[in-house]
Amino acid sequence: MTGRQAAALLIRSLQRAPRSFALSVFGIAVGISVLGFFLALSLGMQKRVLSRIFPSDRIEVVQQKASVDQGGLGALGALGALLGGPQQLGNDVIAKLRSHPDVEAVYPRLKVAFPVRGWGGERIVGKPIYTDLPIDGIDPQAVSEVTVPWAFKDYVSDKNPFCTSDQNCQSGWFCSWDINKCEPPVPVIISPTLLEFYNGSFARMYGLPRLSGFLVGQLRGMTATAELGKSFISRRESGKPRQRKLVLVGVSDRAQPFGLTVPLPYVQRWNAEYAGERAASEYSSLTVQVRPGRSVTRIVELVRKLGYSIEDNGAEQAGLAVLLMTALFVLVSLSTLVVAALNIAHTFFRAIAERRHELGVMRAVGASQADILLLVLGEAGCVGLCGGLVGLLLARLAGLGIDYLSRTALPDFPFKPSSYFWFAPELLLALLLFSVTICLLGALLPARAAARQSPAEALTAK
């Protein structure tokens, strides 16, 4: 039997019992649609939400923590701990990491190790906001390719002119009264995450304008005041408090997610002054940018071998949560599919019992056992294909519906995606194959029984 002949027979065989065919297709479609819906949702969450919150092309290297979390490689770390605490993040590590082939760049970061508070933001909110400021510094190099590289630099110098008030200084500069010198404001970058949270919750709560596109550009040049060594929250004070002007120069995902990021040299100087030399001589973390297309795994290995840890940014937990949810729903939809497959088996057993004479006649006019097997499995494959297509269509429609509802009925929230789903072509293909496979499995036993029965018995059956 050739493929064309088989196809012609199949089509006419399916046409004769449209209702039973439709029922089988429906059973499969339900399972596949639920499965497709949740897998696409999971993929969509990974791709459109998690990857925005937790970029996967870079890792944050930190000092090893108290030596509990290490596995086999931990012996080295434990030894290091015995020989005088965790290893410091210094320039030698940076050099080692930079020489790794998968590493595009390594940028040291340093957190401000003393309290800072600040106020500003009149231009958006209308009145100043008072808050403690988490500040960290990053190698200005890190920002060179994004936003405004020329603005994100250390401009402080001994040769800055003398002043007693801002009027003595050139436009845009301010008088640092504690040292009586004109200085440019400290350039600050903020993260898209911070913007998202502003837009998604803060702006909505206080009825403020959303900041996106050119509005973000308008923010540029906005100044605020920071007071070093003081806090609104704690009474902790250190050193001699002083005020510095800050100026927002851009939005970059190199900035820390919740806080302000300034050029590293500022933080090094400030830490040396307010928290001691040691706080200035090492880094609090290293941002390692992975080369495009490379994976982080080998770098992570190297980091562990060198005796350092990877900052846990919550990506794993969030990914795990999504995975668990997905697994749950996949289990549910798989059980629907098992039921559908059993239904197929049942339907086909009944069908071949009803068609015993027909199968006998086919054998009599020249069908081999393999031909019969092929015909029965072919019908099941058609059910699987149609069920898969219908199911995927249903899933897609459900996805579109939910995206539409989210757009029109849900308020903004941070990282609200335009679509929660990603119907990857590979996913569609895999599900279609899966659907066909399930049906073939369901029909396997009936098909074997049909092929193996003796034609004489099939023809004489009552």
Partner 1 sequence: MEPESNQPAVPDPRAASEVPSGETPCIVVTGLRKRFSDGEVLRGIDLVIRRGELVGFTGRSGSGKSTLLHILGGLDRGYEGKVSLLGQDLATLSDRALANLRNRHIGFVFQAFHLLTHLSCLDNVLLPNAFAQEPLGRMQAEERAMAALTRVGLADRRHSRPSELSGGQKQRVAIARALLFQPEVLLCDEPTGNLDDFTGQQIIDLFVELNRDGLTMVLVTHEPRVAQATTRLLSLQNGLMVPPQSLEPSR
Ligand X SMILES: Nc1ncnc2c1ncn2[C@@H]1O[C@H](COP(=O)(O)OP(=O)(O)OP(=O)(O)O)[C@@H](O)[C@H]1O
Distances (CA, A) of 235 to 34, 84, 112, 135, 372: 56, 32, 17, 18, 86
Any residues with CB less than 8 A from the CB of 392 and at least 6 apart, and which?
32, 33, 36, 423, 428, 431, 432
Which is closer to partner 1, CB of 6 or CB of 182? 6
> In this structure, are residues 431 and 392 in contact, taking their beta carbons and an 8 Å threshold?
yes
Is 301 a binding residue for ligand X by CB under 6 A? The answer is: no
Which is closer to ligand X, CB of 354 or CB of 457? 457
Q: Which of 189, 367, 438, 444 binds partner 1 (CB under 8 A)?
A: 367
**Segment 430-459, which members bind partner 1 (CB under 8 A)?**
454-457, 459
Distances (CA, A) of 409 to 41, 89, 102, 201, 210: 19, 49, 44, 16, 18
Q: Which residues make beta-bridge pairs with 251?
A: 190
Site string for partner 1, 369-408 (x = CB under 8 A): xxx-------------------------------------
Is 365 a binding residue for partner 1 by CB under 8 A? The answer is: yes
Any residues with CB less than 8 A from the CB of 24 and at least 6 apart, and which?
340, 343, 344, 347, 383, 387, 439
Sheet holding 308-310, edge to edge: 129-132, 116-120, 223-228, 242-251, 186-190, 260-263, 135-138, 103-111, 285-290, 58-63, 308-310
Closest CA to 453 of 351, 346, 345, 352: 352
CB of 451 to ligand X, least distance (A): 18
Which is closer to partner 1, CB of 359 or CB of 440? 359
- The β-bridge relationship of strands 242-251 and 223-228 is antiparallel
Which is closer to partner 1, CB of 222 or CB of 361? 361
Which is closer to ligand X, CB of 98 or CB of 357? 357
Which is closer to ligand X, CB of 194 or CB of 451? 451
Is 457 a binding residue for ligand X by CB under 6 A? The answer is: yes
Is 461 a binding residue for partner 1 by CB under 8 A? The answer is: no
CB of 457 to ligand X, least distance (A): 5
Cα 288 to Cα 441: distance, rounded to the nearest angstrom: 48
Residues that bind partner 1 (rule: CB under 8 A) add up to a total of 30
Site string for partner 1, 2-41 (x = CB under 8 A): x--xx-xx--xx-xx-------------------------
Task: Name the site residues for partner 1 (rule: CB under 8 A).
Answer: 1-2, 5-6, 8-9, 12-13, 15-16, 357-358, 360-371, 454-457, 459-460
Task: Name the site residues for ligand X (rule: CB under 6 A).
Answer: 457, 460
